[in-house]
Structure 1
Amino acid sequence: MDSLRAAWLIEIHPVLRLSRPSLSSQYPLPAENAKISPKASLSYPSDEADGQFILSPNLTLPPAFGSAYVGETFACSLCANNELPEDETSRVVTSVRILAEMQTPSQVVPLDLTPGGEEAHTDGLGKGQSFQKIVRFDLKEEGNHILAVSVSYTETLMAENLHAASGRVRTFRKLYQFIAQPCLSVRTKASELPPSEVDNKSLGPYGKTRLLRFALEAQLENVGDGAVLVEQTILNPKPPFKSRSLNWDFQRPDSVKLQPSTLNPRDVLQVAFLVEQEPGQQDGLEALQKDMKRDGRATLGQLSIEWRSAMGDKGFLTTGNLLTRKR
């Protein structure tokens, strides 16, 4: 066996539950194995492991493990374990480093690992010990994602007098693939309302200014495989507009504790907002007038939605700019 594989095994197990995990059980090495410590094969080596129990308390991610949801945070721990045999004295492992990147459909993103800093175990990683990092990545795109993990370390050969004889840097790389798919589908519709009129003295003693008004409706459909709890739906209006909720929480006193909406798969939640042009608001007014003159459409703002999965994972989605219909 190549000394690289004999010396190292990197395992990944989830820190936060994915929406649709497809996890593989992790089997430790047999206790009677004399070449490699059974403890080193675990993603989290422990002195309290039960040698009679055939399954590890942790689960690992296979190279392709299914789907996760856009808007949620992918999170897992990366564990590099020293699997040199207990009686091995001719080699020492030092300068361990883990690097990771996420390959999305549009870009490759280097990932920050925690705890941060250059914790490279320059003094060496003992037999059966684990060097661990945690990775988190906010899923913002649909499509295929690949988590690429690279591990580098220095393998030092020891002479009989326990002094370093030679050393070389070794590296290996592992890839983990999954698909990010939408959890909530959002459909919107904007309807123009009769404009309101306010006094404008700059146009004379009886001058009036007509202010645009729209009703924005949105349907939120759970297109995932499990129930979700929609905690909050907010419209962030674009100036010169302001918005007001027309939903079940409208004009409730602050002291009332409102219950979030639970959506089972294929359930639909409908929300609505009143969008009005603010009187006297100059910010964004020129851009609105140009848009209305050019194609008769106005940009109302963006919809922000927060939810939690059945396991408590938090999800967040912000739509693009919502436009009105052409006149």
Structure 2
Amino acid sequence: MENKERVDHLVALKVMRLTKPALISPKIVTCDFKDLPGNILNNYLKDDATSVVGMETLAAGQFLLLPQSFGNIYLGETFSCYVCVHNETNQPVQSVSIRADLQTSSQRIPLTTQQHQSPVMLDIDETLGDVIHHEVKDLGTHILVCEVTYISNYNTLASFRKFFKFEVMKPLDVKTKFYNAESDEVFLEAQVQNITSGAIILEQVSLESSQQFAVKSLNETMNGKSVFGDVTLLQPQESCQYLYCLTPNANIASDIKLIAAAKNIGKLD
């Protein structure tokens, strides 16, 4: 395999996913002052910039840590990131532009707003940035492709690309069960489980019935409030069961064959 020569570009590309930061706390390694290390470990912990004065051994944080990677991305989330190009030289760089596309298994989606604008000149230590947003609608592997173009010192067009790969996963797992009553009614139980690494609030779970059935939700009290309370909070791996009663419409209720052939009951949303 031939070794390709490394090209030093005039600008640097940085990409950071925009998610909520996390508190960073010091790594606590301490001992009694009578032990062999004495106060060396304790003094080192007190000098740690991330420790809280007077509470060094409590792992309490006072600084926010920006995202260090793309992390977990789940279906239905809005993927947001900051893409920027920085001039690291001691001279202006001409005709700088950014292009970002999201490559999925089935399509390539343009993301940046800069790609429809004219290239700009970056002065010394100047930055060209763009915030992009995209609602993730496909599962599986996604690749963020970022391309930067500019005019080199030789007055020729130069460009380079960087690729950022991440996986999109399901946030919820839904399992359904059917129960047939002695009447024509059918009861549907839907179990919704949180399979993410964090807590999820279910704002609404509803069943949209087809034209062949009428649906009645059994998840509310007599006064119309949810049986799960004001907020349905699911911790990781927790689940919640919803129950619905389906009644066939009059045009098929009188014919057993039509009821048996009615396969489409609706859509859980």
Structure-2 residue corresponding to 1:231? 203
Letter in 2 for 1:74: F
- Hey, what's the Cα distance between the residues in 2 that align with 1:295 and 1:150? 57
> Are the counterparts in 2 of residues 100 and 147 from structure 1 also a CA contact under 8 Å?
yes
- Hey, what's the Cα distance between the residues in 2 that align with 1:107 and 1:294? 39
After TM superposition, give the deviation of residue 296 of structure 1 in Å.
3.5
Structure-1 residue corresponding to 2:106? 107
After TM superposition, give the deviation of residue 11 of structure 1 in Å.
0.8
1:152 aligns to 2:149 (yes or no) = yes
- Which of 117, 120, 125 aligns to 2:118? It is 120
- Hey, what's the Cα distance between the residues in 1 that align with 2:146 and 2:68? 13
After TM superposition, give the deviation of residue 186 of structure 1 in Å.
0.6
Consecutive unaligned residues of structure 1, counting only runs of 5 or more, are: 22-52, 158-165, 196-211, 305-327
Structure-2 residue corresponding to 1:317? none
- Hey, what's the Cα distance between the residues in 1 that align with 2:260 and 2:151? 64
> Are the counterparts in 1 of residues 87 and 93 from structure 2 also a CA contact under 8 Å?
no
Residue correspondence of structure 1 range 247-266 to structure 2 within 5 A: 247=219, 249-253=220-224, 259-266=230-237
Change (3 A) 1:264 1:133: same
Structure-1 residue corresponding to 2:158? 170
Cα shift readout 1:270-290 (whole Å, capped 9, x = no counterpart): 00112233447xxxx8xxx9x
1:82 aligns to 2:81 (yes or no) = no
Change (3 A) 1:111 1:132: same
Residue correspondence of structure 1 range 137-286 to structure 2 within 5 A: 137-155=134-152, 157=153, 167-195=155-183, 213-247=185-219, 249-253=220-224, 259-279=230-250
CA RMSD of aligned residues (A): 3.3
Letter in 1 for 2:268: L
Letter in 1 for 2:72: S
- Hey, what's the Cα distance between the residues in 2 that align with 1:68 and 1:170? 33
Structure-1 residue corresponding to 2:93? 92
* Structure 1 length-normalised TM: 0.57
Letter in 1 for 2:176: T
Compare 238-247 and 3-12 and name the one that shifted more: 3-12
* Structure 2 length-normalised TM: 0.68
Cα shift readout 1:137-183 (whole Å, capped 9, x = no counterpart): 3233332222111122233x5xxxxxxxx622111111111122222
Matched residue SS, 1:232: coil
> Are the counterparts in 1 of residues 93 and 150 from structure 2 also a CA contact under 8 Å?
no
- Hey, what's the Cα distance between the residues in 1 that align with 2:67 and 2:13? 10
Matched residue SS, 2:122: coil
Change (3 A) 1:3 1:131: farther
- Hey, what's the Cα distance between the residues in 2 that align with 1:121 and 1:58? 33
After TM superposition, give the deviation of residue 72 of structure 1 in Å.
1.5
> Are the counterparts in 2 of residues 77 and 133 from structure 1 also a CA contact under 8 Å?
yes
Cα shift readout 1:46-87 (whole Å, capped 9, x = no counterpart): xxxxxxx9xxx884655xx443222222111111112222xx
